[in-house]
Every structure is written in structure tokens, then in C-alpha cells.
């Protein structure tokens, strides 16, 4: 799954550790989500959406092949 986390974080000039603090997760977790090595759980995705005040589907985007299968 693709996501806009790095872009949204950059707009707010937050470091990965700053974002991790606000989400109460590790910095590695933020890095893994940003580099698309890890898809967050639904509760964490909602937490991210609330933090950035955007709907989940505006932050997390399906890959082209994923959107075809659903």
C-alpha cells in the first residue's frame, strides 16, 4: 500500500521521532510505514488520519494491482 506519510510529515516539519512520539510508536515503525515496508493496522491508520486531520483514504492509497482485486 502506498502512503503520503512522509509528505504530510515534511509539511509540518516533524522528524520521524516527533511523529512517532505523537503516535506513541517507535521511530522504526514510522520509517517502515513511510518506506512502505509495513502496512499499519486499522487502529494506527485511524490515529494517523486523526493526527493529520485527513480521511484515511487521502493518506493511504492502494497499489494499482490492489485496487483491481478489490
Partner 1 sequence: MELDRRSELERRQDRAAIRDAIPAIVALVVLEGVVTAADLDASANRWHLLVSLSPLLAGVWLAWVQWRILRRCDEYQRTVHLEALSVGFAVAMLVALTGGLLDGADVGSSAQYLQLTFITGIVAWVAALAVLMRR
Q: Which stretch binds partner 1 (CB under 8 A): 5-13, 17-25, 46-54, 56-64?
A: 17-25
Residue with cell 515496508: 37
Which of 1, 10, 11, 17 touches partner 1 by CB under 8 A? Answer: 17
- Report d(CA 3, CA 53) in Å as an integer: 15
Site for partner 1 in 30-69 (CB under 8 A): 30, 32-33, 37-38, 40-41, 44
- Report d(CA 14, CA 21) in Å as an integer: 10
Q: From the CB of 49, what's the least distance to partner 1, in Å?
A: 16
N-terminal to C-terminal alpha carbon distance within the chain? 13
Amino acid at each position: 500500500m502506498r502512503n503520503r506519510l512522509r509528505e504530510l510529515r515534511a509539511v509540518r516539519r516533524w522528524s520521524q521521532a516527533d511523529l512517532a512520539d505523537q503516535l506513541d510508536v517507535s521511530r522504526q515503525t514510522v520509517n517502515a510505514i513511510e518506506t512502505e515496508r509495513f502496512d499499519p493496522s486499522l487502529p494506527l491508520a485511524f490515529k494517523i488520519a486523526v493526527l493529520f486531520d485527513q480521511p484515511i483514504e487521502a493518506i493511504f492509497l492502494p497499489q494499482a494491482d490492489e485496487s483491481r482485486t478489490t
